[in-house]
Amino acid sequence: MIIRGTSRKIKDIITMTKPMQLILLSITMYGAYLASTRLLSLEILLFLTLTAIGAIGGVTALNMYLETDIDSIMERTKNRPLVVKSLSRGEALLGIILLMSIGLLSAIAINKYVALSVLIGLYSDIIMYTEIAKRRTVTNILLGGIAGGMPALGGWAAGRGIFDLAGVLLSAIVMAWIPMHIWFISYYYKEDYVKAGVPMAPTVLSIKNVATLIKISLGLMAGLAWGFLILRGYGFISAIVTSILVLMAIKKVNNWEKRPTKKMAREMFKFASPIIATVFLLLPIDFRLLILKTLVI
């Protein structure tokens, strides 16, 4: 019975890390690392994995810990562990502290810049987003989006040993992608956000304005991919495919703007994840092709 109860608690802690989101952001981290250095290290990959699980998962769980009141109001979150009390707040906090300790110590083991990316992500997500902006301003995700870009910046710093403009561009690509990812799902659950008093763009702005902002952010995402290519001299395949996916997304946004439906918004939300995953899966391929080319020459 004790083992069964413990395994249930562990499962609840894992639920609080939002595993699918954790996997998606980990892809940006691995992609940035694999595209940053010729000399790949299994040790760094191991520490990056622990950093991702501990830091990304821990910050996400802490966010959920601080938003139990909102989660209890919203239909889509009412069954989360702390709301249904399958996990006590003390148990959750213990799990969060353990996760974040593992994440930060693993980041420190790589280098100080990876550790700094973890701290920036923590500050952005918990202080700037959750505690200050989320319940007060429609610009909340623009501030919280900084945290979303930190895994890519940390992955790049793991390989390069420093923060530089290229790493910032990769981080900014993720930040530019976030409005599409968040605003379409918040439109789908619009009534939930209104009931909870959370001012997301679709609950405050017109459909036209939301669509325009998403299209601008998508265009910026493609532009940043080309900016990375110009700066580093590789990333052509990634930039081309990103541009194609962005054009497809903009077409879908235009259709949604003309006839906005919840069904279409959910489809757009699902379409968003493969876009960012594809960008960071292709970047390492671009880099390895460049290395192969230099070896052949």
Residue 218 and residue 176 in contact, taking contact as beta carbons nearer than 8 Å: yes
Tokens 């890519």: give the residue. Answer: 152
The residue range of the domain holding 164 is: 2-296
Query: Residue 4's pLDDT is what?
Result: 60
Predicted confidence (pLDDT) at residue 97 exceeds the cutoff of 80: yes
- Orientation of helix 207-232 relative to helix 236-258, angle to 10°: 170
Burial class (CB in 10 A: 0-12, 13-18, 19+), 89: exposed
Phi first, then psi, for residue 155 (nearest 5°) are -65, -40
> Has residue 196 got a pLDDT over 80?
yes
Rounded-to-integer distance, Cα 151 and Cα 212, Å:
27
Domain tally, the chain: 1
Q: What is the pLDDT of residue 7?
A: 85
Considering only residues 116 and 293, tell me which one the structure prediction assigns the higher pLDDT. 116
pLDDT in tens, 262-273: 999 999 999 999
Taking the CA atoms of residue 177, residue 267, residue 278 and residue 178 in that order, the dihedral angle to the nearest 10 degrees is 10
Distance of CA 243 to the CA centre of its chain: 20
What share of the chain in percent tops pLDDT 70?
Answer: 98
Q: In this structure, are residues 228 and 166 in contact, taking their beta carbons and an 8 Å threshold?
A: yes
| pLDDT in the model for residue 6 | 81
CATH of the domain at 69: 1.10.357.140
Q: For all residues of the chain together, what is the average pLDDT?
A: 94
Say yes or no to pLDDT of 69 above 80. Answer: yes
The model's pLDDT over 138-181, given as tens digits with 9 standing for 90+, comes to 989 888 899 999 999 999 999 999 999 999 999 999 999 999 99
Phi-psi region of 85 (alpha: psi -120 to 50; beta: other; left: phi over 0): left
Measure the CA–CA gap between 162 and 112, rounded to whole angstroms.
9
pLDDT of residue 123: 95
Which of 129, 134, 170, 165 is closest to 151 using CA atoms?
A: 170
- The predicted model scores a pTM of 0.93
Residue 1 has pLDDT above 60, yes or no: no
pLDDT at 297 over 70: no
Looking at residue 5, its pLDDT comes to 66
- Quickly tell me which residue has 């910032």 as its tokens: 168
Region 236-253: mean pLDDT is: 96
Q: What is the 3-state secondary structure (H, E, C) of 265-278?
A: HHHHHHHHHHHHHH
Q: Is the pLDDT of residue 3 over 70?
A: no
Weakest-pLDDT range from 4-8, 137-141, 211-215: 4-8
Decide if 275 contacts 245 (C-beta within 8 A). Answer: yes
pLDDT at res. 293: 76
